[in-house]
Amino acid sequence: MMTCPSLLTRRNILRGTIGLAACAAAPVWPQTSKSSGIGRTLVVAQIVDNTASQLDVSRDFLIGSRAAWQGINAKGGINGRIIQHLTLEVDGSSASMRVALDVIKKTPNCVVLSGTAGDRAASQLVALLRQDQHNIAHVAPWLQNSDLDGDNRTFPIFASRQDQIAQALKSLAIMSVPELGAIYASAQEYTRYRDDVERASSALKIKLKSYKPTGDLALLGKSLTPDTPRILLFIGGTPELVQFTQGIDKQAQQRYVVALADVNLQTMLQMGAARLTPVMATQVVPMVNASLPIVKQYRETLARLYDEPPTPQSLAGYIAARYTSEVLNTVEGIPTRQSTLQTFQRRNTVDVNGFRVSFNAQGRSGSYVTQSMITPDGRIVG
């Protein structure tokens, strides 16, 4: 088995993509009959997107999942069976996703896919599993698009992007915000999410102005006019939001930015984001300083294994793995792909030490949405 240092920093993990799968995972390949542990081992596969637009979410989500599986193994694994955590990177292309899925199909004892990150990879994998009719459970992915809910192999446990938008706008409506600007990081976000934003704003009677992406987000921030709404909803990732705030900070008029769960406020500060503009972000897990048992366990495990600050994205990865393990523990007999899938398909309500997973009629659990904020003096508060 390949080994890794017990303490890793975000900087080391982000330094390059080569070697991530080797270090963050412990792949199990075909072994001889003399291998003593093969009958006592289960493989859990995790696919992560290493492209620039997805990297920040994927890395933190992976850190949380890996910490959880190490903690689970330290306590005896799943009914006495050690978990081997197989991590596979994809580059955003359909071809790389196909290669990753083919590896998983050929991996002995691989019984479940858990914690696919980010949203693009999760969406691609849902489509590919449908196409192949491959019977393996796809559990707790970072799947933001609710249009893909209802698949009988996929079990999303976090609030969708549509739910996040609705919650963000609802909080603004309570504050009697009359109008809102919607900024899209790219043409892809504009095409995919404009209708969702417009429906949510219409339902809450908030006037909406949408701004098409120009390619240069800093320039867009600088070019906002006095009649641009003071509160802006940003649809995109962390690097794009950093660029936008660096432009918007050049303006005399104070504005406020609301982002969604793909944005990592901790990373924004590390990347040198401008601080004159307050930034709020939705998150689909509790605050990382919450007193819930699952959050306390996450903080303790993270501190023991990593030189890393807690983030909502790594907490989500931790919860994804813990939920997967809770259900695996209920599989009768030795888990197989088929028996594991059947157990997840019951969609039983599970309390993961204070984080409740309860599926709705559309096949998604996760209406939990809260918000945190970067203050002008550089603090993150919730």
Instruction: Tell me what pLDDT residue 366 has.
Output: 73
Q: Which CATH number fits domain 161-283: 3.40.50.300, 1.10.1740.10, 3.40.50.2300, 1.10.10.10?
A: 3.40.50.2300
CATH topology identical between 10-158+290-357 and 161-283 = yes
Instruction: Tell me what pLDDT residue 14 has.
Output: 41
Instruction: Tell me what pLDDT residue 71 has.
Output: 96
Please tell me whether residue 218 adopts helix, strand or coil conformation.
Answer: helix
For residue 378, CA distances in Å to 113, 153, 216 come to 37, 42, 25
- Judge whether 264 and 56 are in contact, CB under 8 Å: yes
Instruction: Tell me what pLDDT residue 274 has.
Output: 64
Please tell me whether residue 184 adopts helix, strand or coil conformation.
Answer: strand
pTM: 0.87
What's the full length of the chain, in residues? 382
Instruction: Tell me what pLDDT residue 357 has.
Output: 96
Dihedral sign, Cα of residue 169, residue 361, residue 372, residue 174: positive
Instruction: Tell me what pLDDT residue 381 has.
Output: 82
For residue 261, CA distances in Å to 44, 87, 160, 328, 348 come to 25, 23, 9, 27, 26
- Judge whether 140 and 115 are in contact, CB under 8 Å: yes
Residues of the chain short of pLDDT 50, as ranges, are: 1-38
Structure tokens, 293? 């048992």
Query: Cα separation of 144 and 358, whole Å?
Result: 17
Instruction: Tell me what pLDDT residue 53 has.
Output: 80
70-76, Cβ contacts within 8 angstroms, sequence gap of 24 or more = 70/301, 70/305, 71/297, 71/301, 72/321, 72/322, 72/325
The H-assigned helical ranges of the chain are: 10-14, 20-24, 55-74, 94-106, 119-132, 161-174, 187-203, 217-222, 238-248, 265-270, 293-305, 312-328, 337-345
**Cα 307 versus chain centre, distance:** 20
Pairing of strands 355-357, 350-352: antiparallel
User: What is residue 283's DSSP assignment?
Assistant: E
User: Any idea where the domains of the chain sit in the sequence?
Assistant: 10-158+290-357, 161-283
Instruction: Tell me what pLDDT residue 343 has.
Output: 98
At the topology level, CATH places domain 10-158+290-357 in Rossmann fold (3.40.50)
